[in-house]
Amino acid sequence: MGALTESVGIAWQWLWSGDARLWQIVGRSLAVSASACALACLIGLPLGAWLGVARFRGRAVVVIGINTLMAVPSVVVGLVVYLLLSRSGPLGFLGWLFSFPAMVLAQTLLVLPLVVGLARQVVQEVEQRHGEQLRALGAGVGTRAVWLAWDERVALLMVVIAAFARAVAEVGAVMIVGGNIEGHTRVMTTAIALETSKGDLPLALGLGLVLLVVVLGLHALVALLRQASQRWAGPSAAWERLA
C-alpha cells in the first residue's frame, strides 16, 4: 500500500512539475500511437466498411482471418516486424529498426485488424438491417459502404479510440522493434517495464498512472463528442427500437 500512495504522490508531482524527460516520453508515446492509429484507420476503416457490405466467395474465410488477427499478441507482431526490418531482412535497407518509423509500423500492423474487424461489424449490422433500402435507391456496394460508414460515424469513432487505446497500451511490439532506447524510442509502456525491472516500483506506478490519465482523457472526450452528436442528429430512429 505504501508503494501505491508513494507512486500517486510521484505521479502528481510529475504532472505538475513538467519534467522534460517525462513529457518527452509521454509525447513520444502519443505520437507513435496516434500515427499508427491514424494510418490503421485510414486504411482499415474503408476496408472494413467495404467488407461489411460486399458479398463474395470466400468472404467467410476472410472474416475469420481478420477476427483471428484481431487477437494476435503484440510480441508476435513485434517479432514479425523486427524480422522484416532487420538488416538481414527484406526491408533492412530502410534502416528503420530501433527508430520511430519502426514503432509506428509495428503498432499500425497491430491495430489494423482490429479496425477492419470492428468497422466490418458496425457496417455489416446496419447493412443487414437497412442495406436493401439504399440498394433500392440505386446505391452500389462502394456507395453503401461509404454512406453507411458515415452514418455510423459515432460508432466508428469508438473504433478509432479502441485502436488508439490498444496501441498506446501495448508494450511487446514497441519494445522489440524500438529497443526502448533512452532519448529515442522509449515510450511510456517500455519505461514502465524498465523501471519495474530496476525495482523502482513507485516510479513505474507513477508512469502507469500518467498513462491511465491520458487514456481516461481520451474516453471522456469521446463521450462528450457522442453526446453532442446525439443532440444534433436526434436519438436513434424510433424505428430501430421497434425492429
CA distance 172 to 231: 41
Interacting positions 85-124 with other proteins (CB under 8 A): 86-88, 92, 95, 97-100
Q: Taking contact as CB under 8 A, which single stretch among the options 51-59, 70-78, 127-135, 165-173 is the one that binds other proteins?
A: 127-135
Number of CB atoms found within 10 A of residue 180's CB: 18
Of 60, 61, 71, 243, the one binding other proteins (CB under 8 A) is: 243
* Residue partners of 166: CB distance under 8 A and separation at least 6: 110, 111, 114
How far is it, in rounded angstroms, from Cα 101 to Cα 185? Answer: 10
Q: How far is the CB of 126 from other proteins (least distance, A)?
A: 8
Provide the grid cell at 95: 534502416
Q: Which is nearer to other proteins, 70 or 94 (CB)?
A: 94
Q: According to CB under 8 A, which one of 19, 133, 217, 221 is a site residue for other proteins?
A: 133
Do residues 124 and 149 make contact, with C-beta atoms less than 8 angstroms apart? no
Piece of 12-20, 51-59, 159-167, 173-181 that binds other proteins (CB under 8 A): 173-181
- Quote the cell numbers at residue 8: 500517486
Q: What distance in Å separates the CA atoms of residue 226 and residue 194, rounded to the nearest whole number?
A: 37
Contact residues toward other proteins (CB under 8 A) are 31, 35, 46, 86-88, 92, 95, 97-100, 129-130, 132-139, 142-143, 145-147, 150-151, 153, 179-184, 194, 196-201, 232-239, 242-243
